[in-house]
Structure 1
C-alpha cells in the first residue's frame, strides 16, 4: 500500500482516492501533522510526500505570502476564533519562489469545537496564467480587427455628411458600398466571438435533422461561382450518400469556411470528395459509434508546413498569411466536435492542404 494512503483519516476511508484528484490535497490531523499529501501536491510543490507525512504543517509545506511573511504563522489555523471555517483561495509562494493557489478548510469537532483536521487545496497557477494570456490575446486581436473597419466607416460617413454635394452619385455609391462591406466584417467578427464563447463554455446549441451534405456543398460552390470564382476551380465528386445528422446553419458554416480557405490560400483546383464510413475495421471509425460521413477538401497550393499542422485548429493561427482573425478553423473544429465528428488536416495528393471532417449519418 502507498504511504500516502496508510494514514488517511478514518472518515475519509470511503471517500475519493486522493491521488486521483487533479488538484493538490494536503490534510492535517488534530495535532497539525500531515496525514495526506497526494500526487498532485507533490507535482505542484515539487516536494516529496515521504518527507511531508507525519510532519507539522508549517514544516512540511512552508508557504510565504506576497510580502514574504510566513503564511501559516499569519493565519494560525489551529488558533483564533472558533467560528473560522477556512481561508479563501490565495496566491502564495513556495520555497523556490513559484506561485501556487492555496485554499484551506477547517473541519471542527461537532461543528464548532476544536479543529479535527485542516484540508488544504493546491492549484498550479500556470493554467490560470494561460487562460489569462488567451483572454488578453483575444481582446487585443478583437480590438485590432474592429479598429480598421470602424475607422473606415467613421471616415466615409463623416466625409459624406460634411461634403455630400461635392461627390457624384457614383462616388457616393462607392463609399456606401465600402461602409456596407466593413459593417459586414464587424458583424462576422461579433458572430465569431459569440461562437467561441459558446464552444468554450460547452453551450453551443445545435438543431439537428437530416441534411444532404452533397447538396449543401453544391449550393455553396454555386454561390462562390456566382460571386466571381471560376467554375473550373471546383471539382465536386458527388456520390450517393445517406443524409448527415447536423445543424444546417452550423454545417454550412463549416463547409463555407473550408472552401473559402482552399480558394483564398490554395492554388489550382479545389476537389471536394465524400466517403461513407460503415466498416468497423475502418481506422477512422475504430469500430465504435454510428456510421459516419467524411468530406474531404483538397487544394493544389503550397500546403501547410509539417511543423505547423498541430497548430492549425488553435486560436489566432494564420500561418504565414495576413488578414482574418485566425479564429475560423478553431470554430470549425468546435462545431464538428459538437456534432460528434472529428476534423484533421494534412497534405493533399496534389501537394496542397487537405482538410477532412466527419459527421454522423442520419
Structure 2
C-alpha cells in the first residue's frame, strides 16, 4: 500500500467514525436513509447508544400519512443497543452496557418521574421528533439524562426472539400495559380492547397479566391479528365496526358493557366505540394518540364512566416487564411479524401503512 493509498484509507475510516446512517422524514410518504453526523456528548449526563434493533411505531404513520405535522429530519423512538460513549456525570452506565430505552428521555428525579409519569418529566422529551433531534431509527442515538432514561440489561447472549421482546418494551408493550393500568383492570374482570394493532395486542397481553378473565377485542378482519390476540389471551373477537360492534359487545356482556376498556387507536370512531362499550363505572384507559376526537362529557357523566391515560411512561414499567421477558413469562416480541434492514426502512413504513404487517422490526447493528 502506498503512502497516498494509506492516507486515503485513514481519511475514509475517520469519516466512517464521524458519520452514521439514519432514517430521515422528508415529507408525506417519504422516508429516506441518509448519512448524518454521528451524535456526540452534548451534556455530561448524556450517553451515545449504538443501535442494535429499532422499529416502526403505529404513531409514526400519523406523520407518514400527512395527518400530523412533523419537522423533516430524524425519526423513530423505539430502540435497544449498546452504550458507545458516556458523559462525565453518568454514574450507572458504562461503555459496552446493553440497554433498552423508553420512547422518551427523563431525569428520573423530578416530581413527575418520582410519581411514575416519566413522559411528563420537566427536563424530558421524546426521541424522533424530526428536525435536528435524535431519532431512534439510526445507527447511533444521543440519549439525554442517560441514568434516568436507559435500563441496563444484564447478559449478552440472547435469542432473536428475546431481543424482539426487549425491543417491544421500549414502547409498544409498555403502552399496552399503560392502557390496562390506566383502565384499572382487575382480577376477574371483562375487558374490551379497542384496536388490534400492535398496541392493542399488547393491551390484551397486559390485561391477562393483570388478571382479566375475559378479553374482548374490537378490531379488524385480519386473521393474523386474531390469531395473535387469542394467543395473548383474547377470549372473543369482534371484527365489525361502529354501532354493530357496540351491539355485539353488549350482547356478549348481558347488555351492560365491559368492566374496563382499553382505547388503543386514537381515531374519532375508536374513541366513540371505547366509551360506548364501557359499563357504568368503568374507566377507559386511552393510549391512542387522539386525532379529531371530541368526548361526550354529559354522557360519560351520567354513566360514571371515567378516563385516564396518555403517552406511556415506559420507563416506569420497564424494570418489571423486563423480568417477565427474561424469565419467559411473556413474549411481546411476537407482534413483530416482519423484519427489515435499516437501508430498507422505507419498505417497512409502506408495509405498515398498507397493513400488510402488524409491526415492522428494523435490524440496525449487532449486539456483540
Asked if TM exceeds 0.5, the reply is no
| TM-score of the aligned structures, taking structure 1 as reference length | 0.23
Bigger share in helix: 1
Q: What is the TM-score normalised by the length of structure 2?
A: 0.22
* Structure number with bigger Rg: 1
